[in-house]
Structure 1
């Protein structure tokens, strides 16, 4: 009997974590790209997911998540659907306005696996933690229900990893998940109940961060 699996991953390391000065001259300071080691982490994530029968990849439209998803999509030979409900926590303490990102069309020019036929609206800036958890919890529920006979992968940010997992397994995810860079959460539907089998796993990575950073 088929047991649906929802995989949830965070993006790899980002350039402003490696070089904080990058922010001061960046054209889009709230949309950093992956660092070199972040690309390697994304490739290690991709290799970890070989053979897991994933058929759908959804990613936040921020560049770091798109780049992470692209490495996985290349290895699994899948398309990427960009979903704003997986985006970063729109915290006004982190960002002074709605963060600017590349358009879907621009991203697709650089990352051809992006499926431009898939669209959804953007969330409202600013948002508090509760609103972020509600948004990201609802997206995992929505996508799991939309693709009930498929295993899906969601690639987001620290907050959206926690929120998406909590949308399926409940409040326990808020307290248990250590959403470090390029971590992996595995949640399986057992009858009518979701069970978390992997909790912020980083065993596929050669190098992991010791202190979890959201910004």
Structure 2
């Protein structure tokens, strides 16, 4: 039997478009999508509409939830909040542990969130790059195994999409995957081996970033 693990990075974020947003934001490390990011999320949803995806797992940051919600509405699936897919909790980027909306607050905003789901893997601030790759790779392996043979979608960040891919296909992914905004990675299980079929596809997007920022 085979299985497909799709991985998508969130769409464009408001502080990439308006850096001054960060200066007065209540949760400065948890920006929402920008207006063009919302368009990208809809384009991602349209791209995945005909794929046989059974489960959606998403990082609990607002921008990833917004991206996943667009897909969930098209696929009519619940969203499972998985902390193992979180942003790289890099102290060089964040001076303190990032404050996020609570699960209850997110569920009120996004009714398709499955509040009964318990995250499988924790993410703890601060963490090194190696620790981030380890926990996001572990998350991808754990979810793929637990929900086998169903096809699943993981919605995360540039770093956690790359880490999840490394966790399945190995170190070669570091040189192959380009996880730009709202891009898609597709990893397929053939027998005992995971094969990388899409390495950061953006063909579904009308606007693509030129410089990849992993955040």
Give unmatched runs, 5+ long, in structure 1.
Answer: none
User: CA RMSD of the aligned region, Å?
Assistant: 0.8
Correspondence 1:1-215 to 2 at 5 A: 2-120=1-119, 122-215=122-215
SS in 2 for 1:145: helix
TM superposition shift of 1:122 = 3.7
Cα separation, 2, equivalents of 1:171 and 1:209 = 25
Q: Report SS of the residue matched to 1:93.
A: coil
1:123 and 1:51 map into 2 onto residues whose CA distance is: 32
**TM-score normalised by L of structure 1:** 0.98
Q: Which runs of 4+ in 1 moved over 3 A?
A: none
Give distance in 2, aligned partners of 1:169 and 1:67.
Answer: 28
Deviation string, structure 1 residues 71-106 (Cα, Å, up to 9, x no partner)? 000000000000000000000000011100000010
- How far apart are the structure 2 equivalents of 1:197 and 1:105? 36
Deviation at 1:62, TM superposition (A): 0.1
> SS of the counterpart of 1:153?
strand
Q: Give the C-alpha shift of residue 199 in structure 1.
A: 0.4
The farther-off stretch of 121-130 and 104-113 is 121-130
TM-score, normalised to structure 2, is 0.98
Aligned residues between the structures: 214
